[in-house]
Chains A and B, each alone.
Chain A
Amino acid sequence: VSDPSYAVWAFLGLVTVVLLIGSRRAPGSSPARPFVVLQRLATGPFLRVALVLAWGWVGWHLFAR
């Protein structure tokens, strides 16, 4: 088992949690809340296509292949 690899993943997970907590401080705070980010992605003319493709690919990759 590679400890440095898992340590980096754990660090990235920790940063994710910190951002999630930070986004809940106040409405309109920075960083934006996850659903605000999702809304921005889902309303971009090109980003929304990439979002749907990415969602489908993740599901297929993880559960079907």
Chain B
Amino acid sequence: MAAPEPAADGDGGRQRLSVWLPVAGAVAYALVAANARAFTEPANVLTALPILALVVLVVVRWPLRPRPAAPPPDVRHPYLAWVILFVAIVAWELAEYAARGSRADHPTLSSMADAADRYYLLKALFIFLWLYLGGAIVRRGRQARAPAPAQTPGESP
């Protein structure tokens, strides 16, 4: 098998830029958005903008009829452990939410996040992770497009 040709400097630079530019943008956005206090107009706007952007991106970039990604080959129940963990977290969250007593006695994920949000950098980190996850969602869904049919050697593009 032939080794892949090294990318030209321009291509490599563009590739790096296409990775790091959104990350830098997300960091900058998170640092700005972390200044906004919850329940205020700026917080609403700064949270709504990424949500609207994601909705537009998935409409534009995702295929209309996706093909569910195939599970990794030769692996039994690759998602089972994650499903069990997710169910356990949701169950405990609901149990804590419904429990009688103060939120300090029965913390939920939200109340713990609220406590962490008092620290500017932690809040900025949470916002960055949320934005990063949004970007990953768009990218992973986009890869569901059906592969283009293979071209025969003599076929022109």
Contacts and interface: CB of A to CB of B under 8 A. Distances in A.
Given A2-B107, A35-B136, A60-B47, A42 B141 contact: yes
Contacts of B46: 63-64
Interface string B111-150: 0110001000001001100100110110011011000000
Contacts of A42: 62, 66, 69, 137, 140-141, 144
Interface residues of B, number: 58
| A contacts with B: majority SS | helix
Interface residues of A, number: 42
Contact of B72 (A8, A19, A36, A61): A36
Interface of A: 1-2, 5-6, 8-9, 12, 15-16, 19, 22, 27-32, 34-45, 48, 51-52, 55-56, 58-65
A43 B136 contact: no
A42 B142 CA distance: 8
Given A2-B107, A43-B144, 12 more contacts: A5-B96, A15-B88, A30-B75, A30-B77, A36-B72, A37-B82, A42-B141, A43-B140, A48-B62, A60-B47, A64-B44, A64-B47
B81 A39 contact: no
Contacts, number: 147
Contacts of B81: 19, 22, 30-31
Q: Which of A1, A22, A37, A51 is packed against the most chain B CB atoms within 10 Å? A: A37
